[in-house]
C-alpha cells in the first residue's frame, strides 16, 4: 500500500506530504491517513508548526470526482478541514501547480498559505455542475471579500499566484524550494507568536460587504446561467456566507451541494469532464511522436488566419502562405487586428501580442514550406482546389512532414490518395473562429500512420484544443449529425412553425441560439454552396439565398438585422415566403409545439450518432458528446446528445422516431439498431463503445 500521506520533521516543524498521483485528488485513501496524521500532530508537543504540501506535479486538484454518486466514506473532506481548524499551532499550506476545489478548501482550513509563483488557485466546481462542498463558499469570502469570492466561485476560473496575493488569499509567493521556504515561514509566524486565527473566525472583510453591489453582481451572473442550476446555487451560498452565521451558512452549503451532486446536470457535466480526457487519449500513449517545431498554414482567409493564430498562441512559429501578395497582406492584417482587439479588451498584454506576431512569417512561395513539420491546408472547400494544393505540398514538403486538411466535409481518403505519402495525411477540422473554438475533429484516414495521428492528438492538447479522433464519412461526426438535425427544419417551417418558434424551442432547451439564428450568423450561402455541390435543395433557404439574403452579413436571412445590429427581428416577408412555398406543395399550416420540434430535430441527431457508432466513425458515444458540446453549443447541462438520450429515455426516442417514420417515411427517423439496443440495455457499448 503506497504512502498517500507521509510526515517528516524539519526541526520542530512537521511537513505533511500528500502523494496521490496524478493530481493528488482528495480520495478516501488520502483523507483517512491525513485526518489521522493531523490529529496526531495537533496533540504532539514536540511539533510547533505544521506544513502541508504535495508531491508530484500539483497540489490537491480537488475532491476525487470518481467518488461522486457513490456512498460517502468517512472521514469526509469537511471533517478533515474541521479538524485542521482545531489546531492551535500555526498550519501553513505550501501550494504548487494547482490548488483547486477541495484542494483550495483544504488550504482555507490552514492559518497561512504560501505558493509557488506559477501556482493557480480556484474553485472550479461550477464547471462540474456543483458548488464548493467543503466550506469554500463560506471561508473564501472571509479572506478575499464577498464580491471577489462570488466572481471566483461562479466563474470557476482559477487565479494566478500574484492575484491571489493581492486578494489576500495567500500570504506569500515564492520561487525555488517551496517546502524549505514554507518551513521558514512557519518558524517566522511562530516567532511572531499567537493567536493564529482560523479563517472561519475572520469576519472583518465580510462585514464590509456592499450588499447592494453584491446583489447586482449576483443578478448579472445569474442572467448568464442559461438554465444551469450550479451558478445560481453558488451565488446563493456566498450570499448565505454574508447573511448567516458560519455554521448556518456551512449547513446551507451542504444542502445545496447534496442537491446538485445528485442532479442530472452535474452528472452530465462530470460525464463531460471524463469524456474530454478519454477522447484526448487518442491512439496508444506508447506510440512515438514526430517532432513538430515549425507549422505552416495554406490560406490566410477566416479559417486559415484563425488556425495560424491557434498555433502561434501555442508558441509555434507559423508560416502563412497565400499565392497572392494582396490576399497575404489582408490575412496578416486581420491577424494583427484580432490581437489588437484582445489587447484592447485586456485579455492579452502588448508584450504577448508582439511576441505572437513575431512568430508569423508570410509567404507566397511553396518552397518556403520545405522546413515545416506540419502543414495545414485551409483553402476553399472544393475538392479540385484541395487536390491541387496537396499536389504542390507533396512536391515540396520534407519527408515525415504531416500534411493536414481542414476540410469540414470532403473525403480525406481521396485527398490522401492523391499524394505519394497517404500515411502522412490527416484531417484537422477546426471550428470557426479557430483561435477561439476548443474542438478539433481529427480525421483518421484509412492510411494515416499511427504516429502521425498520435502526434496531432498530443499537439492539439498542447495548443489548448479538445481533440476527438473520428473516421472518414461526409461531414465526419459533427456536420453529418448537423445535417440530420437540420433535415426536418424546412419541413417544420412548411407545416406551420416559424423560424423564431423553432429557435425558441432550442434556446429553451439550453442552446445559445437556434438553427435559423445560427444559420444567419454563419452565413446561409455556405450551406447553399454545399447543397448545390451535392445536388441537394432546401426550398426556403435556397430561395432566400437567391434573393441575396445570406444572413447577418447581408442584413437579412431568416430574420432581419436592422442597422448592422446582431439582433434577429422576425420578418413577415420570410413568413409569407414560407406560406407561399407550403401552398405550392399543398401543405396546410398547423400549430406545432416545442415537443414536436425537439422530437423531429434532436431525436434524429441522436439516431445519426448511433449510426456513426455502428460504423465506427466515432470510437465512443462520449466522443460524440465532446464534439457536440465543444463544437456546436449542445447544452453542457445535458451532457451531449448521447448522454442526453439516456436522460430523455431511449425507449421514448425509439417510439417517437418510429411514429415519425410511419408518418413521413423519411430514413432519418428509422431507428438505428444500436439505439434500440441502448433503449434495452442503457449502454452504448457493443458497437463503437
Contacts of residue 525, defined as CB under 8 A and 6 or more positions apart, other chains included, come to: 545, 550
- Nearest distance from C-beta of residue 117 to ligand T1G, angstroms: 18
Residues 109, 124, 129, 515: which binds ligand T1G (CB under 6 A)? 124
Contact 85, 111 (CB under 8 A): no
Residue 161 binds ligand T1G, judged by CB under 6 A: no
Residue 657 binds ligand T1G, judged by CB under 6 A: no
Q: By CB under 6 A, which span of 5-13, 62-70, 286-294, 533-541 interacts with ligand T1G?
A: 62-70
Strands, E, within 69-226: which ranges?
91-95, 98-100, 112-116, 120-122, 159-160, 172-174
Phi, psi at 469, each rounded to 5° = -85, 125
- Nearest distance from C-beta of residue 112 to ligand T1G, angstroms: 21
Could you say which DSSP state residue 118 is in? T
Residue 631 binds ligand T1G, judged by CB under 6 A: no
Q: By CB under 6 A, which span of 34-42, 132-140, 161-169, 464-472 interacts with ligand T1G?
A: 132-140
* R_g of the chain computed on alpha carbons: 28
- Nearest distance from C-beta of residue 276 to ligand T1G, angstroms: 8
Locate all alpha helices (DSSP H) within 244-324, ordered by sequence.
246-261, 264-279, 302-313
Residues 15, 53, 61, 456: which binds ligand T1G (CB under 6 A)? 61
| Residues within window 64-123 making contact with ligand T1G, judged by CB under 6 A | 64-66, 77, 98, 100-102, 105
| Residues within window 258-287 making contact with ligand T1G, judged by CB under 6 A | 274, 277
- Nearest distance from C-beta of residue 64 to ligand T1G, angstroms: 4
State how far the Cα of 407 lies from the Cα of 65, in Å rounded to an integer: 37
Residue 349 binds ligand T1G, judged by CB under 6 A: no
Closest of 68, 69, 77 to residue 31, by C-alpha? 77
Would you please indicate which residues are annotated as catalytic (active-site) residues? Answer: 105, 125
Nearer to ligand T1G, 66 or 349 (CB): 66
State how far the Cα of 50 lies from the Cα of 46, in Å rounded to an integer: 11
β-bridge mates for residue 534, sequence order: none
- Nearest distance from C-beta of residue 581 to ligand T1G, angstroms: 50
- Nearest distance from C-beta of residue 21 to ligand T1G, angstroms: 8
| Residues within window 528-587 making contact with ligand T1G, judged by CB under 6 A | none
Residues 7, 15, 81, 130: which binds ligand T1G (CB under 6 A)? 130
Residue 231 binds ligand T1G, judged by CB under 6 A: no
Query: Sheet of 466-470: strands edge to edge?
Result: 360-363, 318-321, 295-298, 374-377, 402-405, 425-430, 439-443, 466-470
Contacts of residue 528, defined as CB under 8 A and 6 or more positions apart, other chains included, come to: 541, 542, 545
Residue 238 binds ligand T1G, judged by CB under 6 A: no
User: Could you give the angle at which helices 641-648 and 673-681 cross, rounded to 10 degrees?
Assistant: 50
Residues 132, 282, 306, 646: which binds ligand T1G (CB under 6 A)? 132
Residues 4, 7, 62, 492: which binds ligand T1G (CB under 6 A)? 62
Report the SS3 class of residue 530.
Answer: helix
Q: Which residues bind ligand T1G (CB under 6 A)?
A: 22-23, 25, 58, 61-66, 77, 98, 100-102, 105, 124-125, 128, 130, 132-134, 136, 274, 277
Amino acid at each position: 500500500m503506497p504512502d498517500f500521506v507521509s510526515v517528516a520533521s524539519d526541526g520542530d516543524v512537521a511537513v505533511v506530504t500528500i502523494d496521490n498521483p496524478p493530481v493528488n485528488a482528495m480520495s478516501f485513501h488520502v483523507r483517512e491517513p491525513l485526518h489521522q496524521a493531523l490529529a496526531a500532530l495537533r496533540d504532539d508537543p514536540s511539533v510547533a508548526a505544521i506544513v502541508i504540501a504535495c508531491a508530484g506535479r500539483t497540489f490537491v486538484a480537488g475532491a476525487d470526482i470518481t467518488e461522486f454518486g457513490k456512498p460517502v466514506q468517512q472521514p469526509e473532506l469537511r471533517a478533515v478541514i474541521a479538524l485542521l481548524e482545531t489546531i492551535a499551532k500555526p498550519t501553513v499550506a505550501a501550494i504548487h501547480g494547482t490548488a483547486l476545489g477541495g484542494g483550495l478548501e483544504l488550504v482555507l482550513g490552514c492559518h497561512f498559505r504560501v505558493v509557488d509563483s506559477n501556482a493557480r488557485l480556484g474553485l472550479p466546481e461550477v464547471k462540474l455542475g456543483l458548488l464548493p462542498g467543503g466550506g469554500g463558499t463560506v471561508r473564501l469570502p472571509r479572506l478575499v471579500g464577498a464580491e471577489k469570492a462570488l466572481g471566483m466561485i461562479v466563474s470557476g476560473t482559477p487565479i494566478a499566484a500574484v492575484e491571489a496575493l493581492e486578494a489576500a488569499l495567500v500570504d506569500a509567493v515564492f520561487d525555488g524550494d517551496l517546502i524549505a521556504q514554507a518551513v521558514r515561514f512557519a518558524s517566522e509566524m511562530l516567532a511572531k507568536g499567537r493567536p493564529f486565527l482560523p479563517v472561519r473566525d475572520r469576519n472583518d472583510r465580510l462585514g464590509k460587504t456592499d450588499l447592494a453591489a453584491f446583489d447586482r453582481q449576483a443578478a448579472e451572473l445569474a442572467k448568464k446561467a442559461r438554465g444551469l442550476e450550479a451558478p445560481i446555487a453558488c451565488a446563493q451560498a456566498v450570499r448565505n456566507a454574508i447573511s448567516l452565521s458560519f455554521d448556518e451558512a456551512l449547513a446551507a452549503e451542504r444542502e445545496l451541494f447534496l442537491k446538485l451532486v445528485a442532479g442530472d446536470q452535474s452528472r452530465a457535466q462530470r460525464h463531460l469532464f471524463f469524456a474530454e480526457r478519454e477522447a484526448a487519449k487518442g491512439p496508444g500513449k506508447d506510440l512515438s511522436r514526430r517532432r513538430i517545431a515549425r507549422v505552416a498554414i495554406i490560406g490566410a482567409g477566416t479559417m486559415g488566419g484563425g488556425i495560424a493564430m491557434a498555433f502561434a498562441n501555442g508558441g509555434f512559429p507559423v508560416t502563412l502562405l497565400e499565392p497572392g501578395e494582396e490576399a497575404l497582406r489582408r490575412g496578416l492584417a486581420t491577424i494583427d487586428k484580432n490581437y489588437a482587439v484582445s489587447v484592447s479588451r485586456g485579455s492579452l498584454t502588448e508584450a504577448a501580442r508582439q511576441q505572437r506576431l513575431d512568430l508569423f512569417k508570410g509567404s507566397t512561395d511553396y518552397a518556403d514550406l520545405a522546413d515545416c513539420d506540419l502543414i495545414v491546408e485551409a483553402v476553399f472547400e472544393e475538392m479540385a482546389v484541395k487536390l491541387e494544393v496537396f499536389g504542390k505540398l507533396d512536391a515540396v514538403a520534407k519527408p515525415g512532414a504531416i500534411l493536414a486538411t481542414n476540410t469540414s466535409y470532403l473525403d480525406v481518403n481521396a485527398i490522401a490518395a492523391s499524394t505519394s505519402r497517404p500515411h502522412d495525411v490527416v484531417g484537422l477540422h477546426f471550428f470557426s473562429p479557430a483561435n477561439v473554438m476548443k474542438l478539433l475533429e481529427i480525421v483518421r484516414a484509412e492510411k494515416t500512420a499511427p504516429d502521425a495521428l498520435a502526434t496531432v492528438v498530443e499537439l492539439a492538447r498542447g495548443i489548448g484544443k479538445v481533440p476527438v479522433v473520428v473516421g472518414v464519412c461526409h461531414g465526419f461526426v459533427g456536420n453529418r449529425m448537423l445535417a440530420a438535425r437540420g433535415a426536418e427544419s424546412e419541413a417544420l417551417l412548411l407545416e406551420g412553425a416559424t423560424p423564431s418558434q423553432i429557435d425558441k424551442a432550442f434556446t429553451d432547451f439550453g442552446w445559445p441560439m437556434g438553427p435559423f439564428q445560427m444559420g444567419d450568423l454563419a452565413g446561409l450561402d455556405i450551406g447553399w454552396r454545399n447543397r448545390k455541390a451535392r445536388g441537394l435543395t432546401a426550398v426556403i433557404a435556397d430561395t432566400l439565398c437567391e434573393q441575396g439574403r445570406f444572413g447577418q452579413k447581408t442584413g437579412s436571412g431568416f430574420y432581419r438585422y436592422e442597422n448592422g445590429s446582431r439582433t434577429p427581428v422576425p420578418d413577415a416577408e420570410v413568413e409569407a415566403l414560407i406560406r407561399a412555398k407550403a401552398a405550392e406543395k399543398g401543405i396546410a399550416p398547423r400549430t406545432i409545439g416545442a415537443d414536436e420540434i425537439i422530437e423531429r430535430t434532436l431525436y434524429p441527431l441522436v439516431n445519426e450518432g448511433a449510426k456513426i457508432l455502428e460504423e465506427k466513425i466515432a470510437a465512443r458515444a462520449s466522443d460524440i458528446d465532446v464534439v457536440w458540446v465543444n463544437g456546436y453549443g449542445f447544452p453542457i447541462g445535458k451532457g451531449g446528445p448521447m448522454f442526453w438520450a439516456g436522460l430523455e429515455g431511449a425507449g421514448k426516442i425509439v417510439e417517437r422516431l418510429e411514429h415519425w417514420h410511419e408518418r413521413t417515411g423519411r430514413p432519418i427517423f428509422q431507428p438505428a439498431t444500436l439505439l434500440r439496443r441502448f433503449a434495452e440495455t442503457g449502454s452504448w457499448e457493443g458497437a463503437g463503445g
